[in-house]
Chains A and B, each alone.
Chain A
Amino acid sequence: NAGVTQTPKFRVLKTGQSMTLLCAQDMNHEYMYWYRQDPGMGLRLIHYSVGEGTTAKGEVPDGYNVSRLKKQNFLLGLESAAPSQTSVYFCASTSGDFGFEAFFGQGTRLTVV
C-alpha cells in the first residue's frame, strides 16, 4: 500500500518555466490537498479538492492551478514559475470523515532560479 505518492521529488526551474506536480493516492480518499512549507510559515494550503472534478482555493492560491480529473490523482501546475515559489510542496489526502487523519506524501522540493 503506497499511500500518497508525489512526483517528482526534486526539481529546479528557471523563472518563467512551467511544470506540473503529480499526486497519486491509493486509499480511495475523497479529499486531496496541496500545501507549501516554508521556514517559519508552517503548512499553507494552496488548493484542495473534495471530490473528482472539484477544486477550491486555499490560503495561497495565486500562481498555481490544479485539476482533479481522476479521484486518485491531484495535479498542481505552475504556469510561469517565480523565485517566490521556491518551497517544499506536500500533497495530502483524507477520507473526509469528521476527525479525519490526513496522509501526506514525501514532498517535492522545488527551486526556482
Chain B
Amino acid sequence: QQQVKQSPQSLIVQKGGISIINCAYENTAFDYFPWYQQFPGKGPALLIAIRPDVSEKKEGRFTISFNKSAKQFSLHIMDSQPGDSATYFCAASWKGAQKLVFGQGTRLTINP
C-alpha cells in the first residue's frame, strides 16, 4: 500500500513535443507528491512538488496534474527539449512519514 507505481519505464519524445509521465498510489495518507530529475552520473534533484489541496501546479514548462479521486498524478513537460533528457522519479510522502516513497523511474529521451 506504500508503493507508488510509475509509467512508462521509458519514453521517447520529439523536440517540441509534450512529455507525460504518470504515477499512481494507493495510500490515501500520502499528501506530498514531489518529482525528482536525475541526469546521468548525478544524484536526483527536486524538480517540482504538489500538495493535494490543488489539482495543478506549473513551473515554467513543467506541470504537475493531480487527481485525488483517482489517486493519480502526472508530470507534463511542454515544449520538450534535448536538455530535458533524464530519468524522472515521482515520489510520495505524508506528514510524520520521515521518508519518501519513490516510483520506479522513467528514462526520458528527447530527440532533436
Query: Interface of A with B (CB < 8 Å)?
Result: 4, 31, 33, 35, 40-45, 48, 50, 56, 58, 90, 92, 96, 98-107
Residues of B contacting A90 in the complex (Cβ-Cβ under 8 angstroms): 43-44
Check if B99 sits within 8 Å of A45, measured CB to CB: yes
Check if B105 sits within 8 Å of A107, measured CB to CB: no
Query: Interface of B with A (CB < 8 Å)?
Result: 6, 9, 32, 34, 36, 41-46, 49, 51, 89, 93, 95-96, 98-100, 102-105
Residues of B contacting A44 in the complex (Cβ-Cβ under 8 angstroms): 102
Contacts A48-B98, A98-B32, A98-B95; is A42 near B105 (CB within 8 Å)? yes
| A58 and B43 alpha carbons, distance in the complex (Å) | 19
| A41 and B36 alpha carbons, distance in the complex (Å) | 15
| A31 and B100 alpha carbons, distance in the complex (Å) | 11
Check if A42 sits within 8 Å of B103, measured CB to CB: yes
Contacts A40-B9, A41-B104, A43-B89; is A105 near B43 (CB within 8 Å)? yes
Residue B44 contacts which of A41, A45, A104 (CB distance < 8 angstroms)? A104
